[in-house]
């Protein structure tokens, strides 16, 4: 019995590998959600927010791919367990009974996870796909464990056995999954922005002003400093990790609910009266001194233009958004109607890239990126407050940005020359709609502070670049710290906290060597 259980476990693992490979192949080709993706969403609901936030802060772009690798491996282990279990329970049962046992075991273990991680719109489709995947697994398991030793469709006298065929399929599927997950991890690494990528942006929007003058008697090393991040350097992050939705302009439609519901095509959206302005976006999971903050010039119609056409009833509490990747979000009606809230379709003069939300994404002022959903497909008023994707996982619903400051240059690996003023100290500070009134820098770990030069190049609700000309007194290692004061006179919170649930706090600290 022990040998047959071992064999059944191996067959179950092989069948599960084939099924998991098929899941991700269908995900890539047809956009059908793979069960590990759904299970990943479910895991984020189950994990305590503080644990999930801790992992996000430290794994960043690698979190989702690593979770998918683990959950896919878990499905293979589950397949092995189901194979051994059904063989033991139905060792002498006919093939139909074994199939039923395997189907019930796999379905009972996976359907609840699907229901936990699915949105309202996804439930029916995901349950159907889960049952289909479980049925395929049960069919492969029953076929490979049946008494017959020959594949029924192969008439050769020495043809392969059913198990050898299944093992061959499993090897191919395993190789495909290894390639797929390796690609996802490589893509995640490629999406990791560097802190210095936004130090000296090169895109100059027509609406920005000029930088503040340098102190008298010094050359300005920041001439042309615009504060705008190039599209290539703009930070990237989404709940999907990678494999973001690939929507076409021709097929995309925006459904707008209301008393007079309507549907807009991409051309309809672009035909609406539009506005253009710079907007800073920061991810709620940006760590202190982290790179997940950027600024670009976006264009699109004001959201209120769209909402007013469909109508918003007086009893509406919020405006709800649904996206092509299953992401959901909501805004208070007054925020949705604000002048600075738009449905953007261009970024720095170019159509949105796929990873930035093509064809359209929401943009508003002073809130973390979680409140600015991408790949928007449905907009509509709701009568009750609605918690979006991240709020359901414990993040703060309002998502107002916290005051932050970051030293872009120099960094730990840089060496500052002694004996002369160093004019290249630079960074950014951000406080959303509150603006920035002052940024200070310390070279002795916070014992004494000096004011930096603010570069007033963008409207106040964007980040404020700052510079400083530093004359190091002597060679050595300096504990450099920066802090900002917002436009209301409130000093940046020095308490060191992770991003969950309302954004990270603390001062950015860097040890700089002078030699």
Q: Where does 402-514 sit in CATH, by number? A: 2.60.40.650
Q: Give, in degrees to the nearest 5, the angle at Cα 307 between 302 and 309.
A: 105
Residue with tokens 């191919």: 172
Provide the sign of the torsion angle of the four alpha carbons 160, 161, 164, 165, taken in this order.
positive
pLDDT of residue 3: 46
pLDDT of residue 428: 94
Reported confidence tier of residue 92, pLDDT bands at 50, 70, 90: low
Instruction: Tell me which residue of 272, 377, 265, 282 sits closest to 321, measured CA to CA.
Output: 377
Helices 162-191 and 123-145 pack at an angle, to 10 degrees, of: 140
Reported confidence tier of residue 194, pLDDT bands at 50, 70, 90: low
Reported confidence tier of residue 265, pLDDT bands at 50, 70, 90: very high
Choose the weakest-confidence range: 106-120, 236-250, 328-342, 411-425.
106-120
Q: Give dist(CA 432, CA 439) in Å, integer.
A: 15
Q: What mean pLDDT value characterizes the chain?
A: 86
**In sequence order, what are the residues at sequence separation of 6 or more whose Cβ sits closer than 8 angstroms to the Cβ of residue 472?**
416, 418, 422, 443, 478, 514
Which of the two residues, 172 and 193, has the higher pLDDT score?
172
CATH superfamily of 253-393: Oxidoreductase, molybdopterin-binding domain (3.90.420.10)
Identify the three-state secondary structure at position 501: coil
pLDDT at 153 over 90: no
Beta bridge mates, 508? 482
Residue 359: is the preceding peptide bond cis (ω within 30°)?
yes
Cα dist. 158→152, 196, 208 in Å?
Answer: 12, 64, 77
Cα dist. 316→91, 312, 459 in Å?
Answer: 60, 7, 32
What is the pLDDT averaged over residues 179-187? Answer: 86
pLDDT in tens, 290-327: 999 999 999 999 999 999 999 999 999 999 999 998 89
pLDDT of residue 460: 85
pLDDT of residue 225: 64
pLDDT at 490 over 60: yes
pLDDT in tens, 224-233: 467 899 999 9
Q: Report the predicted TM-score, pTM, of the whole model to 2 decimal places.
A: 0.82
pLDDT at 147 over 70: no
Contact status, residue 91 vs residue 4, Cβ threshold 8 Å: yes
Reported confidence tier of residue 218, pLDDT bands at 50, 70, 90: very low
Contact status, residue 346 vs residue 300, Cβ threshold 8 Å: yes
pLDDT in tens, 27-66: 888 878 888 888 888 888 888 888 888 888 888 888 888 8
DSSP 107-155: HHHHHHHHHHH--TTTHHHHHHHHHHHHHHHHHHHHHHHSS--S-TT--
Choose the weakest-confidence range: 91-95, 308-312, 350-354, 383-387.
91-95
Provide the sign of the torsion angle of the four alpha carbons 379, 388, 192, 453, taken in this order.
positive
pLDDT of residue 28: 83
Identify the three-state secondary structure at position 511: strand
Domain boundaries, the chain: 2-190, 253-393, 402-514
Q: Give dist(CA 344, CA 433) in Å, integer.
A: 19
Which of the two residues, 157 and 284, has the higher pLDDT score?
284
């Amino acid at each position: 019995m022990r040998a047959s259980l071992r064999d059944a476990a191996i067959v179950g693992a092989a069948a599960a590998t084939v099924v998991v490979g098929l899941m991700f192949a269908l995900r890539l080709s047809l956009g059908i959600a793979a069960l590990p993706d759904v299970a990943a969403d479910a895991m984020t609901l189950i994990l305590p927010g503080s644990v999930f936030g801790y992992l996000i802060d430290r794994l960043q772009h690698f979190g989702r791919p690593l979770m998918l690798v683990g959950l896919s491996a878990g499905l293979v282990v589950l397949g092995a367990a189901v194979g051994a279990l059904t063989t033991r329970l139905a060792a002498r049962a006919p093939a139909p009974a074994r199939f039923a046992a395997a189907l019930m075991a796999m379905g009972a273990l996976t359907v609840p996870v699907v229901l936990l991680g699915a949105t309202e719109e996804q439930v029916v489709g995901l349950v159907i796909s889960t049952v289909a995947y479980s049925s395929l697994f049960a069919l492969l398991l029953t076929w490979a464990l049946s008494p017959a030793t020959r594949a029924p469709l192969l008439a050769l006298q020495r043809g392969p056995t059913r198990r050898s065929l299944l093992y061959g399929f499993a090897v191919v599927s395993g190789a495909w999954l290894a390639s797929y997950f390796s690609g996802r991890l490589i893509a995640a690494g490629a999406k990791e922005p560097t802190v210095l990528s936004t130090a000296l942006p090169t895109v100059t929007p027509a609406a920005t002003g000029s930088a503040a003058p340098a102190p008298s008697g010094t050359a300005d090393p920041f001439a042309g400093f615009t504060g705008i991040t190039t599209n290539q350097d703009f930070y990237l992050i989404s709940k999907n990790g990678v494999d973001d939705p690939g929507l076409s302009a021709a097929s995309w439609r925006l459904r707008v609910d209301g008393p007079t519901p309507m549907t807009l095509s991409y051309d309809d959206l672009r035909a609406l009266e539009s506005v253009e302005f710079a907007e800073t976006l920061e991810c709620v999971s940006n760590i202190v001194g982290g790179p997940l903050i950027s600024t670009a010039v976006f264009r699109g119609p004001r959201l209120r233009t769209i909402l007013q056409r469909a109508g918003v009833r007086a009893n509406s509490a919020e405006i709800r958004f649904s996206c092509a990747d299953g992401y959901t979000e909501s805004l208070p009606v007054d925020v949705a109607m604000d002048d600075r809230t738009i449905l953007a379709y261009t970024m720095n003069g170019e159509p949105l890239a796929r990873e930035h939300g093509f064809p359209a994404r929401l943009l508003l002022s002073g809130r973390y990126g979680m409140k600015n959903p991408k790949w928007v497909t449905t907009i509509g008023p709701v009568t009750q407050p609605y918690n979006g994707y991240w709020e359901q996982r414990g993040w703060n619903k309002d998502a107002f940005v916290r005051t932050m400051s970051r030293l872009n240059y120099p960094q730990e690996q840089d060496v500052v020359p002694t004996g002369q003023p160093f004019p290249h100290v630079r960074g950014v500070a951000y406080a959303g709609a509150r603006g920035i009134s002052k940024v200070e820098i310390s070279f002795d770990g916070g014992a004494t502070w000096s004011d930096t030069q603010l570069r007033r190049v963008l409207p106040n609700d964007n980040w404020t670049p700052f510079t400083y000309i530093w004359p190091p007194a002597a060679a050595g290692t300096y504990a450099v710290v920066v802090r900002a004061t917002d436009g209301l006179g409130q000093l940046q919170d020095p308490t060191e906290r992770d991003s969950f649930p309302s954004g990270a706090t603390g001062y950015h600290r860097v040890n700089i060597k002078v030699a």
